Amino acid sequence: MQTIEIQTTQNVHIEYPIASVGDRVVAGLIDQLIMIGYLIAIIFFYIWLLNVTEGSSFSYPVAYFVILFLPLFFYHLLCETYLNGQSFGKKIMKMRVVKLDGTQAGIGSYFLRWILAPIDIYFTYGSVGLVTMIVNGKGQRLGDIAAHTTVVKLKAETKLDDTILKTTPVNYEVKFPQVSALSDKDISLVKEVLDLNYKKPDVLVYTRILNKTKEAIEKKIGVTTTLHPLNFLDTVLKDYNYLLSE
């Protein structure tokens, strides 16, 4: 499986699996089925509306159909904007649109992906998007290249160890109460960096990641410590979970 390294806003490089072409095709087919279902529904509704208003003063029936059709036309743009980079197909396939620079993708990025989709997919039967993704090597079609985004696979969170939750002893003593100022997103990053230790990463690269993460967390909670970065991050995770469980 291809992966891509994304630098987060905390200047930490995290590796994510790129969504495969197959996964993206399946997600696209799911979205197409949803869109077809919606189209059928509004056609039936439109026919019903014409029948119940026959002979009445009901005006501009076509305008009503156009209004009902708009969510279908803007389907991907609306979904990715309001579902945090996911359409319903991507959500089912556990994928998400992300920015390569680690920042949160916004409506501008989603718009570029949406406006270029006809060239990538519809007008060329997907050939342009497919070739671009293969040649690019980052899972990017033309819309992604323009928006500086890609589509990554999300990790399944089915076990306690895969979440930010960690069990702590009943008599556990909190060492850094300032961790209460951290967000779940900060702690998820800490957990992900700690989990890298079990994947036998390159020592030099992992040491840099640990040091950068430690510096970022120290700055956020306003402390300075001589603890080894690995011990410090592990303590932060335990402190946060203990305070969260109180």
What tens digit of pLDDT does each residue of 71-109 get? 999 999 999 999 989 999 999 999 999 998 877 789 999
Among 153, 186, 210, the domain boundary falls at 153
Residue 200 scores a pLDDT above 70: no
How far is it, in rounded angstroms, from Cα 141 to Cα 176? 45
- Work out how many domains the chain is built from and give that number: 2
Residues 6+ apart with CB under 8 A from 31: 75, 76, 87, 88, 89, 90
Co-location of 143 and 165 in the same domain: no
User: Quick one: 137 and 225 in the same domain?
Assistant: no
* Overall average pLDDT of the 117-134 stretch: 90
pLDDT of 49 > 90? The answer is no
Domain boundary among 153, 172, 190: 153
In this predicted structure, what is the pLDDT of residue 8?
Answer: 58
Question: Percentage of the chain with pLDDT > 90?
Answer: 42
Instruction: Give the whole-angstrom CA distance, residue 243 versus residue 241.
Output: 5
